[in-house]
Amino acid sequence: MSELDPLLLSRIQFAFTISFHIIFPSFTIGLAAWLMVLEALWLKTGKQIYADISRHWTKIFAVSFGMGVVSGVVMSYEFGTNWSELSRLGGNVIGPLLSYEVLTAFFLEAGFLGIMLFGRERVPKWVHFFATCMVAAGTAISAFWILSANSWMQTPQGYRIAEDGVLHVTDWWQVIFNPSFPYRFTHMVAAAYLTTAFVVSGIGAWYILRDRCMPHGRIMLGMGLSLIVWLAPLQLVIGDLHGLNAREHQPAKIAAVEAHWETRRDAPLVLFAWPDVKTESNLYEIAIPDLGSLILTHEWNGEVRGLKSFPVDERPNPVIPFFSFRIMVGIGFIMIALGFTGAVLWLMGRLYTTRWFLRAMVLASPLGFIAVLAGWFVAEVGRQPWVVYGLLRTADAVSPVPGGSVAASIALFVIVYGIVFGAGVFYMGQLVRRGPGQTPPVPEEADPSRRPLAAAGAP
């Protein structure tokens, strides 16, 4: 084998491309649902302000959605280009799930996106509202199938293994609604809604601070906070239930997340440590005695398995799961605190005038993205060394491609994604700065008669 290891490189490439991709669905799932609510409010109340906000955010949606689409197409091919053995052995199971995602979600989104972006003046209002609903439904259905496929790979059931090693489905219901799926799906959708709510309310707060588009900013902040205040605490509950489920089905992942090496009934809650794989112990540990058992098992002296109880070649490396988990949970608590503070200020009638809080909301606007990425790092690194948990090792799933090809493709992905991401963030920022309900300045060298047709280019 050459020095370039296709396995390691394929893992790096997948991690990079999927991390880049997940940013956009995390935003558009919630945004599509919010746009649907705004349109409904507009249809019901007839207030122009809802139409202004929805028009403005539709343009931001278009940019984000476009980046999600193009980076998503990559994912559906990487299963074959880089993980062909997973496809060959697991294709009977994950193939139909992904195909149902295309048939029930991608086409729905793509078919109605055109009408949503370009059809406002061409179809009756209710048809446009319907198109927005279909796009929103498509994003949620897409999450349903992809989370089902991912969850099945984490907690497989409803299958049998044929003599040639190929997996066959014995029960589709068990495959789709596998043990971790309900937790993962609700956890991810709630995360997407929270991510969007923090972006929307953060930008609303920014308008208020800048004394621009005040009425719009207030609606954004108010609607965002009214979601955050109950969803952020609920997300903690969902996450906790998800943790209990993972402890049952993926105990090695939980041991890694908690940096527990020994199996004990009085497991501590490790707040900080550097988990050292060589010595199989924690360096610089700061821990609260006994609290780990309570949180993980909901019992005072529940048994918590440590990493040492698993064979060395069936353990994930705990460093990334341990730290990612703490980042995610830390952000979760910040979100709860901001939601609570916002609610109190609102009850006191000081929400829109408390500048320190508005500034905090502006700063918090990207937190959801970081939490989503951290959460996925926990899920995906924590399940190693398995790609299908307990059945197929990541090392056995890789394609027969030379490392040089993968190294070259990583370099190209980094360059292209870097440009696309930088430009996308810049243009979305430009749209945000322009603000809702404003006619944009005519670009200097704009063509007089028929300029922009891309939806986001239009006011």
91 makes contact with another protein (CB under 8 A): yes
Q: Residue 175 — φ and ψ, nearest 5°? A: -65, -50
Q: CA-CA distance, 415 to 151, in Å (whole number)?
A: 31
Q: Does 112 bind another protein (CB under 8 A)?
A: yes
Does 71 bind another protein (CB under 8 A)? Our answer is: yes
Q: Which of 32, 33, 94, 372 binds another protein (CB under 8 A)?
A: 94
When asked if residue 404 is in the footprint of another protein (CB under 8 A), the reply is yes
Q: Least Å distance between CB 141 and another protein? A: 12
Pairing of strands 167-169, 281-288: unpaired
The Cα–Cα gap between 175 and 148 comes to: 8
User: Who contacts 20 (Cβ-Cβ below 8 Å, separation ≥6)?
Assistant: 71, 417, 421
Q: Does 95 bind another protein (CB under 8 A)?
A: yes
Q: What are phi and psi of 421, to 5 degrees?
A: -65, -45
**Taking the complex as a whole, how short is the minimal distance between the CB of residue 95 and another protein, in angstroms?**
3
- Closest approach, Cβ 47 to another protein, in A, equals 21
Which of 236, 360, 401, 407 is in the footprint of another protein by CB under 8 A?
401
Binding mask 151-180 for another protein (x = CB under 8 A): ---------------x-xx--x--------
210 contacts 233 by C-beta, under 8 angstroms: no
Interacting residue with another protein among 4, 5, 37, 100 (CB under 8 A): 100
Number of Cβ atoms within 10 Å of the Cβ of 3: 7
Distance of alpha carbon 315 from alpha carbon 174, whole angstroms: 26
The piece of 84-92, 202-210, 269-277, 384-392 that touches another protein (CB under 8 A) is 84-92
Q: How far is the CB of 258 from another protein (least distance, A)?
A: 36
123-142 positions binding another protein, by CB under 8 A: 123
Q: x/- string (CB under 8 A) for another protein, residues 414-433?
A: --xx--x--xx--x--xx--
Of residues 33 through 62, those in contact with another protein by CB under 8 A are: 62
Separation between Cα atoms, residue 403 and residue 410, nearest integer Å: 10
Q: Which of residues 330-369 bind another protein (CB under 8 A)?
A: none
Is residue 79 close enough to count as binding another protein by CB under 8 A?
yes
Q: Which 251-290 residues touch another protein, going by CB under 8 A?
A: none
Nearer to another protein, 289 or 443 (CB): 443
Binding of another protein by 457 (CB under 8 A): yes
Find the helix packing angle between 125-154 and 84-101, rounded to 10°: 150
Nearest CA to 172 out of 162, 194, 157 is that of 157
Residue whose entry in the numeric block shows the structure tokens 């945004």: 31
Which pair of tokens denotes residue 232? Answer: 């952020």
Q: CA-CA distance, 314 to 185, in Å (whole number)? A: 26
Q: How many residues touch another protein (CB under 8 A)?
A: 88
Q: Which of 87, 226, 263, 309 binds another protein (CB under 8 A)?
A: 87
Q: Tell me what percent of the chain is helix, strand and coil, each rounded to the nearest 5.
A: 70, 5, 25
DSSP H or E stretch at residue 326: helix 319-347
Residue 140 or 343: the one with the smaller Cβ distance to another protein is 140
Q: How far is the CB of 245 from another protein (least distance, A)?
A: 26
Reading the block at residue 97, the tokens are 């799930």
Binding to another protein (CB under 8 A) within 437-456 occurs at 439, 443-447, 449-456
